[in-house]
């Protein structure tokens, strides 16, 4: 669900820029900032759950995890550094020296394309996970203190990034501009994911016992964040500060929305336990391809834009931005899945979609999900996403 939300958010941004729809479209995009924070929480949840009680040295852990994340990150950064000049109109190739410089900057900052920073955050999670595990072992019996510390760090980062003036000097500005890709910006959700794994039985029991009050509290948080957005915007006018991912007024929705997603995933798992095999096959199919769709969908959007498809949507559905957006998202997902299935059957499968190659003779309906202990990058969060 999380990476589907990523595709929806980018589809909304690609087609809803006119003054008459920009307020509502940006509200959807603002709420879908939940995807980045949910990604961090679910990644920590799966990592902690899959390593709990197991002995592994930091070096062994890093070797396994970084071996899975670095290759797709570098490959897709290179691909987008090139295709942005091939596909996007009015963006000719620069000189070779500048192209190499742009590639190096994209690798360091995660800006090869607008979704690749997710992988940069994954690398930081893997880098610091041994230290986080050590801290968790000594503080897991005080979960509320850990949550409070995470919330304080995250709120402090939000306030700093939302309201503080940019520092003087180019070097400091570069550092400041990239702070949102660092783990302190996600501290609360690191704590939530890790503690939910350690105390998953108690969390599960609490969510089931107090379902209605929890849903009501989440709804109040969502209403507060939506109300704050509406108060600070007007039709045709959406100030940048109103829909930033680090707006402190958005935090009640981010926390509440994650809880609601968690409860939805619980309900789905309950249903899967009693449903026919078709449901499990659908989840396995989506899980195997989710990272690939995440990686490739911006290229699909760029190609559709270059071919004039976005303009055709306005001709076909001139009076409904919702239908235009839904149609664009469905087409993007479908084409992405086609290309991912092709990539899965090439020798470059691990580099492109972070999955082992599937034999052309093998039936995809029998694809089995990868277990958490060996699940590739990006898919740490995809079983629940």
What was the pLDDT predicted at 180? Answer: 94
Nearest to 105 by CA among 126, 86, 78, 84: 78
pTM: 0.86
What was the pLDDT predicted at 228? Answer: 95
Contacts of 198 (CB under 8 A, 6+ apart): 48, 52, 136, 140, 143
Please provide the DSSP assignment of 261-308 as one string. Answer: HHHHHHHHHHHHHHS-HHHHHHHHHHHHHHHHHHHHHHHHHHHHHHTT
Distance CA 296, CA 159 (A): 33
Other beta carbons within 10 angstroms of residue 205's beta carbon come to 11
Contact 184, 154 (CB under 8 A): yes
CA distances from 206 to 213, 214, 348 (A): 11, 9, 44
Q: What is the largest CA-CA distance in the chain?
A: 62
What was the pLDDT predicted at 274? Answer: 66
What was the pLDDT predicted at 66? Answer: 87
Distance CA 180, CA 186 (A): 9
Q: Tokens at residue 100, please? A: 């190499």
What was the pLDDT predicted at 249? Answer: 96
Nearest to 301 by CA among 330, 340, 342, 341: 330
Q: What percent of the chain has pLDDT over 70?
A: 91
CA 154 from centre of chain: 18
Contacts of 17 (CB under 8 A, 6+ apart): 25
What was the pLDDT predicted at 31? Answer: 93
What was the pLDDT predicted at 361? Answer: 67
What was the pLDDT predicted at 358? Answer: 87
Kindly give the interhelix angle for 34-51 and 2-15, rounded to the nearest 10 degrees.
160
pLDDT tens-digit profile of 346-366?
999 999 998 988 887 655 444
Q: Which residues of the chain have pLDDT under 50?
A: 364-385
What is the per-residue burial (b if ≥16 Cβ within 10 Å, else e) of 262-293? bbeebeeeeeeeeeeeeeeeebbbbbbbbbbb
Distance CA 279, CA 327 (A): 24
φ/ψ of residue 346, rounded to 5: -115, 160
Computed from CA positions of residues 183, 34, 286, 327, in that sequence, does the dihedral angle turn out positive or negative?
negative
Contact 159, 244 (CB under 8 A): no
């Amino acid at each position: 669900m999380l990476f589907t939300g990523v595709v929806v958010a980018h589809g909304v941004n690609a087609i809803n820029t006119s003054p008459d729809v920009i307020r509502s479209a940006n509200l959807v995009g603002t709420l879908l900032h939940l995807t980045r924070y949910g990604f961090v929480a679910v990644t920590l949840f799966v990592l902690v759950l899959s390593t709990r009680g197991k002995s592994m040295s930091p070096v062994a852990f890093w070797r396994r995890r970084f071996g899975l994340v670095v290759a797709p990150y570098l490959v897709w950064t290179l691909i987008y550094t090139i295709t942005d000049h091939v596909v996007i109109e009015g963006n000719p190739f620069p000189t070779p020296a500048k192209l190499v410089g742009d590639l190096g900057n994209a690798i360091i900052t995660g800006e090869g394309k607008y979704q690749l920073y997710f992988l940069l955050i994954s690398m930081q999670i893997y880098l610091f996970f041994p230290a986080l595990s050590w801290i968790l072992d000594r503080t897991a019996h005080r979960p509320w203190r850990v949550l409070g510390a995470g919330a304080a760090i995250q709120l402090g980062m939000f306030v700093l990034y939302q309201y503080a003036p940019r520092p003087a000097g180019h070097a400091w500005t570069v550092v400041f501009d990239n702070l949102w890709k660092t783990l302190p910006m996600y501290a609360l959700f690191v704590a939530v994911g890790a503690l939910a794994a350690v105390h998953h039985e108690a969390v599960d029991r609490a969510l089931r016992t107090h379902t209605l009050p929890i849903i009501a509290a989440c709804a109040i948080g969502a209403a507060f964040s939506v109300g704050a957005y509406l108060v600070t915007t007007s039709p045709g006018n959406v100030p940048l500060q109103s829909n930033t991912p680090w707006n402190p007024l958005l935090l009640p929705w981010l926390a509440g929305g994650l809880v609601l997603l968690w409860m939805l995933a619980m309900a789905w798992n309950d249903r899967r336990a009693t449903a026919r095999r078709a449901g499990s096959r659908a989840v396995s199919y989506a899980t195997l391809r989710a990272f690939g769709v995440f990686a490739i969908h911006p290229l699909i959007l760029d190609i559709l834009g270059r071919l004039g498809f976005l303009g055709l949507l306005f001709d076909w559905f001139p009076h409904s931005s919702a239908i235009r957006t839904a149609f664009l998202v469905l087409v993007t997902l479908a084409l992405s899945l086609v290309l991912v299935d092709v990539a899965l059957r090439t020798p470059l499968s691990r580099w492109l979609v972070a999955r082992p190659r599937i034999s052309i003779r093998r039936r995809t309906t029998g694809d089995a999900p990868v277990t958490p202990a060996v699940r590739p990058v990006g898919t740490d969060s995809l079983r629940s996403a």
